[in-house]
């Protein structure tokens, strides 16, 4: 097991970091988070055209570069450091991941080239009234056969970038059994689709409520049994989010250390005070654990599918808590200014708290982890 990224993968990092620093300074983040779309389409097209970032996981036959999750992880880390406002997690990890694992070659040929070219933004719509991502029985959106295909009726909540997505992949019920789920492609401008922005804790990551009133849809993959596919995509999304969280935690530690060196009280830098040293040291310990968990999860997402559920659960729990702790401590180190709207510390704290709940909170993923370990023990016993 080699958890370290290759030289080729790491060579991508300075390129992405330089690009992100140019197109996503704090002022631009604040501008975009106050818009309905939540991202700049011109920057998105540059990400695709200049750097090929939107097609990293897309096979070459569909216009991508045929890369893997290690490359995607680098992009997510650099975007997470800067709180970059862009639909990368929703489009590249959730939607493109669902298409790639659907084994539906026609759907892949129809949608992946647009994603790789930066012409299509996409997302996955799963959660409903109970706001759960992990229970197929909680999906009540109904899919009905028509003479020309399918129609969807229902409501989806907390859809990442759902207000602006050109393509929405919707999980819908095709039968009474919990496993009777299908995945359906819905065009962003489809008749009967009503989209509304949701007010959430993190304004840098847009979420939406979708109402589907007899919306025409295209079936992606089989008409039932889509849950294993969705579950795998959710694991990949949890790994991607863990990468964002680790990088965000590292950035707020840098902010805290920089401030502790320059802020003086009683004629000495506050970083010389034991209480500040302890805060920064505790942040660093948590980040080290998060970095290890994220590296293991990226390895599993890249080539260890049997270990992906365990690795994803471990990473999501560990990295969520590390980011929340580091972001909160960063506010404390900054003191009064850290609580103000003008300082970026609170933006990282909001991202940390919101991300900790996305795709399941740490307690949920610890339960998943225990369940997987118990199942493994029972299998070995047999």
Regarding whether 314 and 340 lie in a shared domain, the answer is yes
Q: Is 83 left (phi over 0), alpha (psi -120 to 50) or beta?
A: left
- Cβ contact 34:203 at 8 Å: yes
Q: What range does the domain containing 300 cover?
A: 228-381
Query: Quick one: average pLDDT of 187-194?
Result: 96
Instruction: Tell whether the model's pLDDT for residue 48 goes beyond 60.
Output: yes
Confidence of residue 54 (pLDDT cuts 50, 70, 90): very high
Regarding whether 68 and 146 lie in a shared domain, the answer is no
Confidence at residue 267, expressed as pLDDT on a 0 to 100 scale: 76
CA distances, 248 to each of 72, 117, 149, 283 (Å): 16, 28, 44, 12
Regarding whether 342 and 234 lie in a shared domain, the answer is yes
Domain presence at residue 2: no
Regarding whether 154 and 138 lie in a shared domain, the answer is yes
CA distances, 328 to each of 4, 217, 248, 358 (Å): 29, 43, 12, 18
Confidence at residue 2, expressed as pLDDT on a 0 to 100 scale: 62
Q: 166-190, pLDDT tens digit by residue?
A: 999 999 999 888 888 999 999 999 9
Q: 236-256, pLDDT tens digit by residue?
A: 999 999 999 999 999 999 999
Which of 130, 131, 128, 132 shows the shortest CA–CA distance to 142? 128
Regarding whether 141 and 111 lie in a shared domain, the answer is no
Domain presence at residue 1: no
Domain presence at residue 111: yes
Regarding whether 112 and 58 lie in a shared domain, the answer is yes
Domain presence at residue 137: yes
Domain presence at residue 294: yes
Query: Quick one: average pLDDT of 319-331?
Result: 96
- Cβ contact 217:185 at 8 Å: yes
Q: 285-294, pLDDT tens digit by residue?
A: 999 999 999 9
For the chain, what is the domain count? 3
Confidence at residue 142, expressed as pLDDT on a 0 to 100 scale: 95
Domain presence at residue 262: yes
Q: 57-98, pLDDT tens digit by residue?
A: 999 999 998 888 999 999 999 999 999 999 999 999 999 999
Average pLDDT, the chain: 92
- Find the CATH number of the domain harbouring 66: 1.10.540.10
Question: 120, 148, 175 — which closes off a domain?
Answer: 120
* Whole-number percent of the chain with pLDDT over 70: 97
Domain presence at residue 127: yes
Place of tokens 């216009």: 63
The strand pairing partners of 142, in sequence order, are 153, 173
- As given in the structure block, the two tokens for residue 38 are 């939540």
Regarding whether 309 and 241 lie in a shared domain, the answer is yes
Q: How far apart are CA 319 and CA 188, in angstroms?
A: 33
Confidence at residue 120, expressed as pLDDT on a 0 to 100 scale: 96
Regarding whether 370 and 255 lie in a shared domain, the answer is yes
Regarding whether 281 and 191 lie in a shared domain, the answer is no
């Amino acid at each position: 097991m080699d958890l370290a990224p290759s030289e080729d993968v790491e060579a991508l990092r300075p390129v992405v970091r330089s690009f992100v620093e140019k197109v996503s300074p704090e002022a631009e983040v604040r501008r975009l988070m106050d818009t309905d779309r939540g991202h700049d389409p011109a920057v998105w097209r540059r990400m695709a055209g200049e750097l090929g970032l939107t097609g990293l996981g897309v096979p070459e036959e569909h216009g991508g570069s045929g890369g893997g999750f290690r490359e995607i992880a680098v992009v997510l880390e650099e975007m997470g450091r800067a709180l970059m406002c862009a639909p990368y997690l929703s489009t590249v990890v959730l939607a493109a991941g669902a298409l790639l694992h659907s084994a539906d070659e026609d759907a892949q040929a129809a949608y992946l080239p647009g994603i790789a070219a930066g012409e299509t933004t996409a997302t996955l719509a799963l959660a409903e009234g109970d706001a759960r991502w992990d229970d197929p029985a909680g999906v009540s959106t109904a899919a009905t056969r028509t003479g020309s295909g399918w129609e969807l009726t229902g409501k989806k909540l907390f859809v990442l970038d759902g207000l602006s997505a050109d393509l929405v992949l919707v999980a819908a019920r095709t039968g009474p059994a919990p496993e009777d789920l299908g995945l359906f492609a819905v065009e962003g401008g489809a008749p009967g689709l009503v989209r509304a922005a949701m007010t959430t804790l993190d304004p840098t990551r847009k979420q939406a409520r979708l109402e589907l009133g007899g919306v025409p849809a295209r079936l992606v993959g089989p008409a039932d049994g889509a849950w294993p596919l969705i579950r795998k995509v959710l694991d990949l999304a949890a790994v991607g989010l863990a990468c964002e969280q680790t990088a965000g935690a590292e950035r707020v530690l840098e902010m805290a250390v920089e401030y502790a060196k320059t802020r003086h009280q009683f004629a000495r830098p506050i970083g010389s005070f034991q209480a500040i040293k302890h805060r920064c040291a505790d942040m660093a310990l948590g980040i080290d654990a998060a970095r290890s968990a994220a590296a293991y999860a990226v390895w599993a997402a890249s080539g260890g599918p049997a270990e992906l559920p365990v690795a994803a659960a471990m990473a999501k729990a560990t990295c969520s808590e590390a980011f929340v702790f580091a972001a909160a401590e960063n506010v404390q180190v900054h003191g009064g200014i850290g609580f103000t709207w003008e300082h970026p510390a609170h933006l990282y704290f909001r991202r940390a708290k919101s991300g900790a709940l996305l795709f399941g909170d740490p307690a949920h993923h610890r339960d998943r982890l225990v369940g997987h370990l118990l199942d493994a023990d029972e299998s070995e016993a047999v």
